[in-house]
Structure 1
Amino acid sequence: MITPRFSCSQTDISIVVSIYCPSVRASDVEIHVDESILSVHIAPYFLRLNFPGNVLEDDHSSAVYDPAAGFFTVTLTKETRGQNFPDLDLLAKLLAPKSAKPSVPVIEVLNSEPAQIADSDEQNLIDSTSRLSLDTTALSDEQREIFHAAENDWQLPQTVQEPLPELHTSQEKRYGFLDLYTGYFRHVGNTENEINELGTDAETLPPEERRRRRVTHEEQKWDEEAYMADYAEAESIDELLAWMHPHLFGLDEVPFSDAENMQMLRLPRKEFLASPSQTRHLYLTLLTLLFAFAYDARTTQSEPTPESAWTICALTPAFSALDPPPYRPQSSAASAESYSDDDLAATLIPAYRRSLSFPLYRSWSLSEACRTDVAHVLKKGMRTVVRCLLEMRAILDAHEVYYVYSRIWMDDFCSWVQAYANEATLKQLGKQVEKLHMQKSETGWNLEDLEAAVDEERGRDGDSDDESEDEVERMVPAQL
């Protein structure tokens, strides 16, 4: 079946669904409404929508097909008139399956009286148990002590047994969104995947080894001279700092374009059963994705180049090393609604390190500007976040190698943000990221010493220029 293009709108009393299905027989349409679920089948198209509230088929409902335009319009009545149905423009959210209610096992008590045992069976049981005895003389001293301790209910010292190691029946290790994927890098040796830092071992490395290799590669790519050169040539960086992304000003409720709607229709329809800790990790990973997007947007002024896919992947640890956050131990009491400044700083530091080691422009000020962009995107809310993720996905999809990261990360992320992310949590994260104070020393590199060396050299050059000017002024009167 084909999922058609569609759009939804509402009035105080109705929901209107416009479905594009050209060249079909309207007489063959099947429409079914069940509480908040609308199902429309008109071969070869099938559409199943899950609304935020219940709808009804009544005398005010209708279904009209316009063969000239190719649109089939279904109008349904809201069960509660005046109710506002939010997020009707988030198509992936409407297509998400309805969460199943947890089933509770039902136990029926047939008889509360104790079971009756036949006299002969009872006597046999008594005779058998009476013959059971424990000869303590055959026990060792340690065993005899334990026996008497148990007999007298002593409080013996106890220790918690170490858990058994996790059982792996395959050498392959999972990765990607919620660790759902394997097999995408089995033949990576035959592709020109320049940002893959795990090589042919990508399928088999455990998470701790992926992280170790990522950190090692960042150290290898770190170039003090390149950083000092960009710090000295501040004019080129200043131009990047002055630019502002078009998503960060203007109206908040800009409708999604046709291209964006088509992207959302092509997203996978999945139900993501993420635990609270997994949900927390997804929000942290979102920060790193938006940071990479912000860097590429600033350096290209939101006009992606053939290098944009490489830049985004190289700056995202979850792509280049299959190493998503968290990058510091998480408290068991931590929730997806609250994050400490240490959590956020630890999440962004790898992105900072990579922005100072891999791409063309390597500037702390530029990294700080990207953090500010991430904060503003989050503060604008879910729709702006979705727009940025869709643009990232389009850039990766256009690349003949890096499209793989759309399959294992971006497809699911675009769907998850629409259907499961909390608007209030996104905006609160934006406020915290905006106020976050990042320390240069947290990168593990001596950035302040390098900058001081450049400033000192500038001072020397300035003094030399002043001395030369003074010398010229002294020579000119003498010559006259």
Structure 2
Amino acid sequence: MLTPRFDISQDQNNLKIVIKAPCARVSDTELYIEDTEFKFYSKPYYLRLNLPGKVVENGREKATYDAETGTFTVLVPKECPGEHFEGLDLLTKLLAPKGMRSASGAGVEVLGTGTDDAEEEEEEEIDWQVEQVPWWENQTQSEMQPGMKYGFANRRSGVFSKLQEELQDVVDVREPDRLTHAECHEARMAAELEQFDPDHYLADLYEDDAIQELLRYQPPWVQELYKLKTCSKVSGSDSSTNQPEEEVLVFSEEEKEQLLRLPKREYLLDGKTLPVVCFSLVDILFAYAYNYRTTEGEDNVESSWTICKLSATLSWLESFSSLHESVLSSCRRSLSFPLYRSWDLTMAVLQDTKDIIAAGRRRVLRCLLHIHRLLSADENKYILNDLYITDYCVWVQAAGDKVFSSMAQALSDIHLSKADMKLELEELEHAARLVQEEEDTQVIDTMANLSLQESEAQDRCETTGLEAPVAEMVQISLTSKVDNSTEKVSSSKEILDQENLSSQTEDDSDDTDTSSESDSSSETDSDVDEEVTKGDKASAQRPQVLATSETPPDKELKSDHGCGTVDASSSCKNGKEDKDQEHLWLEVPDVNNRYRIVEEERCSDTTDRSLLFSQETSSKKQLITELQKT
């Protein structure tokens, strides 16, 4: 027999059951309505529903069939019109057989069936803050079976020893069927500490652009929780119906298909096992919330790995003894294994976990169904569905709302600090701040030195009357080219001495021919200027400030520049105003590699890197004329 796909909705007076049976034999269709049971049979389909409220067959029932879509639509009257049937979207729960309504033995009871409010009120109140001692720790070693138990409610054992080769990469713990829970716990803590990378943590702390983007993301359960709180305020705090939750959280067709494929089971959990189940559920939901936020709802190929790695339940088959231990483990692992390892991100994911549980069992169920799909598509980790997720999907539908409200309240009272992680986070951040402050101090000192150098250069500029760049170039020239200037001075002296000797010889030999003497002297002066100019041109191949030595043409001669006037006579040795005393003439290149000769309140531009004045250029008029020629 095949179980057809179906969907249920309700109004004030009726239930509307839509059954998709395209291959049904319509002529042989049978319907059965009595008390809380509804049965549909049309070969080869069979559907039996255990309804949360009573229905009645009173002549107002109605059934139609659409041949094009192969769909049956059945209207079933409620026994009490106006009654709200809770949990009609929890299809797996509706398909479960009608179970026992009382405990079958001492200390064992059916919890969270959700079918009787009086029974929910009688459920044992769970003290989430008191550390629970797992049942296996109360037993002696002789009473314990070899290896630890794992899976939903610790009901499984020996699975990994039978499928060791196939399940090598499913969990991190090695040979779980030979270890105790205490040994597994110690191995897990050591692995987390070894995996923690301080450099990775500090990198995400200071280079947090991507993390800040993730922190701004709002997952869907934030809006859902807001709507639920709004609806609760509108309907009143004493409202006993969950109709707003059903309207806000609507399962998709894919999720309904999953619910139909889930097994029909009922779980008997005692008072010690129920907290262990809840602790592991928080651990699994934290891992799911981390993956959802870091991928912004878009799963990737690493999603199943991320969920299993962050959940100690799925990766180490851990069973927690308290809610605080469960939350602490999730936060530690979020700082040791995944791509983003940030304390702020961990706290945001913890808040997401609280919001998911506060939103109720439908939101929790949707998250579990999502995990179930991710693990089913993984090559190896599908076995974790059989051990944990499938059972959680079935159990959540039957668990009472009081379990989740109590769990949400307990989570809201948990506050963790960085010291609780036992990863020396505060010490790392303090050391990083010291290093950062030291680097900032070095940068400030460097900038201060540069500022001081610039200030000194500016002072030199104001003292010499030159612009700062010009003053620096003058300083470089005077320092590095002093030898070259000395050679040029010596060369000029030799040429002038030879010229004077030649002139005296010509005066003694021929006193009558004055015009010839004047021509010879002019020719000699011209040759001297040519030689000196050639010498300067030969040394002008280097693009730098040149300094040449000449006899000052006038003791009061000054150089005028755009940034001030410089007294040329100040460069004379010992401040003497002797015409034979030499001083340095500065030739400063401008931005176009032209050279400016600054003298006698006039500037002359020349592409020639050297301009020398003859000894006879002593008057202002001759100097100006020679400057104009250039």
Q: Which residue of 2 aligns with 1:98?
A: 98
Residue 8 in structure 1 maps to residue 8 in structure 2? yes
Shift of the 425–189 alpha-carbon distance from structure 1 to 2, 3 Å rule, reads closer
* 2:380 equivalent to 1:405: no
- By how many angstroms is 1:262 displaced? 1.1
Measured in 2, the distance between the counterparts of 1:183 and 1:359 equals 30
TM-score, with structure 2 as normaliser = 0.60
Write the distance in 2 (CA, Å) between the matches of 1:411 and 1:103. Answer: 24
Q: CA deviation at 1:266?
A: 1.4
- 1:324 paired to 2:324: no
Q: How far off is 1:165 after superposition?
A: 5.8
Matched, 1:35 2:35: yes
User: Aligned letter for 1:315?
Assistant: L
Match of 1:353 among 321, 324, 332: 332
Q: State the one-letter code of the partner of 2:414.
A: L
In the TM superposition, what is the alpha-carbon distance from 1:43 to its structure 2 partner? Answer: 2.5
Task: Give secondary structure in 1 for the equivalent of 2:177.
Answer: coil
Match of 2:67 in 1: 67
Contact preservation (8 Å) 1:197, 1:213: no
Asked if the contact 2:24–2:45 (Cα under 8 Å) also holds between the matched residues in 1, the reply is no
Per-residue CA shift, 1:50-107, capped at 9, x if unaligned?
11111112201122222211111222111112111012112122223322144899xx
Could you tell me which residue of structure 1 aligns to residue 20 of structure 2? Answer: 20
Cα drift, residue 195 of structure 1? 5.3
% same residue = 33
Residues 327-349 of structure 1: per-residue CA shift (max 9 Å, x gap): xxxxxxxxxxxxxxxx4322211
Matches within 5 A, 1:287-366: 287-326=282-321, 343-366=322-345
Matched residue type, 1:73: T
Q: Which amino acid aligns with 1:423?
A: D
Offset, 1:405? 1.0
TM-score of the superposed pair, with normalisation by structure 1: 0.78
**Residues 267 and 226 of structure 1: CA distance in aligned 2, closer, same or farther (over 3 Å):** same
Q: Does 1:376 align with 2:355?
A: yes
Residue 461 of structure 1 is matched in structure 2 by: 439
**Residues 66-215 of structure 1 correspond to what in structure 2 (within 5 A)?**
66-102=66-102, 167=143, 171=146, 173-186=148-161, 189-191=164-166, 193-194=168-169, 196-199=171-174, 201-215=175-189
1:374 & 1:99 partners in 2: Cα distance? 32
C-alpha spacing 1:103/1:368, structure 2 compared with 1 (3 Å): closer
Instruction: Pick from 424, 438, 459 the counterpart of residue 416 of structure 2.
Output: 438
> C-alpha separation between the residues in 1 aligned to 2:4 and 2:193?
49
2-structure distance, mates of 1:275, 1:42: 40
Question: What SS does the corresponding residue of 1:410 show, helix, strand or coil?
Answer: helix
Counterpart code for 1:465: V
- Work out the CA distance in 2 between the residues paired with 1:237 and 1:429: 29
Matches of 2:336 and 2:163, distance apart in 1: 24
Gaps spanning 5+ residues in structure 1: where? 106-161, 327-342
Code of the aligned partner of 1:238: Q
Partner SS state of residue 35, structure 1: strand
Task: Return the letter of the residue paired with 1:393.
Answer: H
Matched with 1:115 is: none
CA RMSD of aligned residues (A): 2.4
> Structure 1 residues 97 and 213 mapped into 2: Cα distance closer, same or farther (>3 Å)?
farther
How many equivalent residue pairs?
405
Secondary structure of 2:262's counterpart equals: coil
> Is this contact kept in 2: 1:295–1:370, CA < 8 A?
yes
Alpha-carbon contact 1:197-1:217 (below 8 Å) kept: no
Q: Give 1:248's match in structure 2, choosing from 222, 228, 233.
A: 222
* Whole-Å separation in 2 of the counterparts to 1:264 and 1:213: 37
Distance of 1:445 and 1:386 partners within structure 2: 33
Q: Secondary structure in 2 aligned to 1:276?
A: coil
What residue in structure 1 maps to residue 396 of structure 2? 417
1:245 Cα deviation from its structure 2 partner:
0.9
Amino acid at match of 1:207: H
CA contact (8 A) 1:195 1:310 kept: no
Tell me if 1:228 matches 2:228: no
Q: Choose which of 435, 449, 458 in structure 1 pairs with 2:427.
A: 449
Residues 1:431 and 1:210: Cα distance change in structure 2 (over 3 Å): same
Structure whose CA Rg is larger: 2
Alignment CA distance shift 1:243-1:435 (3 Å): farther
Contact kept, 8 Å, 2:153 with 2:274, in 1: the verdict is no
Q: Describe the SS at the equivalent of 1:16.
A: strand
